[in-house]
Structure 1
Amino acid sequence: MIRADALVKRYGEVTALAGLSFTVPAGTVFGLLGPNGAGKSTTIKILTTLSAADGGTATVAGHDVRREPDAVRRAIGVVTQGSGCDPVATGRENLLLAGRVHGLRGRAVRSRVDELLARFGLTGAANRLVRTYSGGMRRKLDVAMGLVHRPSVLFLDEPTTGLDPQARADMWAEIARLAGQERLTVLLTTHYLEEADQLAGELLIVDRGQAVASGTPERLKSELRGDAVVVELAPDADLELAGKAIGAIPGTREVTLAGRTIRSRVDHGASAVPSVLAALERESVAVAAVTVARPALDDVYLRHTGRSFAAAEEVPA
C-alpha cells in the first residue's frame, strides 16, 4: 500500500533523509520509530505530497507521489502533530467542513459526521466550540477529520504527543480497531517506545534519516539474547573505570556507557548482578542502583545505533 525507495531530503547542509526505503502492507499498522529529528515527519510530508524528495521515489495506494499528487490526496487521510481543528468552530462544524472539502454533500456528509462523532464519543460535545475540548477530545476530532472521506491509508504523525495516559490508551484502542476491524492501512510515527511496541505490526526504526532495524517488535526484541543489566552510578563515580570492570566479567557483552549509566547484556541477569556489584566494589566504584530487564525496544535501538533512545532524544539529529 506504501512503498518508499531510497528517499533523500536535504535542508541546506542538513540531510533529513539519507536513502530511506520501506514498504507497508495493506491493512496493517506500520510504525516509524525514532527520536525527535530522526526524519519521521519529513517522511510523512513526502508521502502525503506536502514536500518533494530530493532523491528516490514513493508510491501510496498505487499512485506516484510526485506524478499523481491529486490521486494520492484522495486516497489518504492525514493527522499531523499540530491540531488541524478550528478552535472557534464546533466539533460538528469542523467535521462538516472537512467532509465538504473532500466533496461530500447533503445527507451523505451529515450521516458520515454523525457516525464519526458517535464512534469517537464526541456526540455530546458536537455543538461545543473546540476551544472548550480537552486535549484528548481534540485529538479524537483530528483523527475523525482524517477519516471523514473514508481513505484507504491513514497517516498519523505523533498522534498521542501531549495526551494524558487515559487519553493515550483510548487513542491506541481506536487505532488498533481501525486496522483490525476496518482493514485500514495506518502509518504511525512515534517517539514513544511503548506506543510502537503496543500498536505496530511491523516496525522500522530510523535514526539520522536512515533505517537501522526493521521487523515485528517481538522479532526485533528476540534477536537480543539474554537480559539487560543497567547500572546507575553515584554522581562522583568513575564511568570509564566502571565500564572496564563490568566488561571484564565473563559472559558480559555489549557494554555501553552514557552519562552515569552503564548497560550490558548477559545470559542470566539475576545471577550476574552479584558479579557486577563485586567487580565495582573492587574498584571502589559507588553504585546508585542496578536493574535487570528483558529485552525492550530501547535495547534494540541501543544495539543498532550505539546510544540509548533517551540519549538520542536529547541531541538533535
Structure 2
Amino acid sequence: MALAVPLIQGTNPEWALPKAHCSEYPGFGVQIAASKHWMAAKAAETIYKETSNVSELNLNCGCPIDLLYRQGQGSALLDQPSRLMRILRGMNASSGDIPVTVKIRTGTKDGKNTAKSLVERVLKEGDVAAITLHGRSRQQRYTREADWEYISEVGQVVKQWNDKKEEDKESSDTPRTFFVGNGDVFTHLDWHTAVDTDGIDSVMVARGALIKPWIFEEVEAGQYLDKSASERLDILKTYADFAIEHWGSDDYGVGLARRFMCEFLSFTHRYIPVGILERLPPKINERPPKWMGRNDMETLLASTDYKDWIKITELFLGKAGEDFQFIPKHKSNAYEQDR
C-alpha cells in the first residue's frame, strides 16, 4: 500500500513500495490510499507510465488507521460513496491497461453494515475488476471474528450482478467482476470453506500468512503442517539472507534488516505448533496461556518479549548494537511496552 501524494511527488521511500522482485509478477498489485480523485488518478497514471511489473491497482477503502481516516482516506471513503465513485472513475481513466480493484470493510461502525449497498453502487458505477471485502467494520479493527456470513451475502450481490450481465446480450462480452473475501483465514479449512461458498471467488490472506508463511503450502496439501523449530529457523534464515542482499551488509543495512526481521517475528511468534495444540482448528485471534515448546528453540520462537526477538535476529545477523531499539508498530499483536 502506497500513499498517492508521496508517489506523485516522487518520494523515494514511497516509490520503493511499487517495486517488485521478478518472482512476484505477473500478479503484483499496488494499493493506493487517496482522499481525492485527482490524487488517485495522477498516482495511477504515474504507476502505469513508470512501472512494468504492476498487474493490479487497488483503491484502499479499508484502512482503519486514525491518521488516514481523519484525512479522508482509507475507510473514511466508506461513508463518502460519491467521492469513492469519482476516485474509481479517475483511476480507470488513468491506469491504461492495468485493471482497477477496490478493497472495503463492512462499514465504519459496528452493527451498521453498509458494504452491501456500497457494492451495488460500485458495480453500477465503479467499473472495477474485483471487489475485496474484509468482514469487519472500521470500529472493530481486529477485535472479534470476521463476519463471513455477511461476506457471503455481499458475494451473492456480486454473483447476481454477473449473472444478469451474462444474460444481457449487450454486456455479456464485458469481463465479470470477481469477489474476494478477507478476514481470519488461518488454515486450509478456512480457505476451502470460503472458496467453496457460492459467490466467493477467492480469498485474501493477510495476517495468516505473516504468522504462518507456509499457509499456502497447507492449502495446496489440504492438511495441517506441523513445522518444527528447525524448519521455522530455515525460513528466518532465508528472510535474513534476502534482507542483507537487499539492504547491504554494512551497519546501516544490517540495522534495517534487523528491524524488519523483528517486525516479522512480532507476527511469527504467535504460531502454535499443531503437534501441541489441545484442539483443532486454531483461531487467529485466540491468545493461549503461556506454553512450553517441545524444545528450547520452539519455546524461544514463541516468546512475546521483543528482547527475545532481537536475540533470534542475532543468530543470523550478529550481535545487536547497544543503541539498537525496537518497538513493534502492529497493535494487533496485543503487545504492551515495558514501563
TM-score computed with the length of structure 2 as normaliser = 0.29
Q: Which has the higher contact order (CA 8 A, sep 6+)?
A: 1
Q: Which structure has the bigger radius of gyration?
A: 1
Greater share of helix residues, 1 or 2? 2
TM-score (norm 1): 0.30
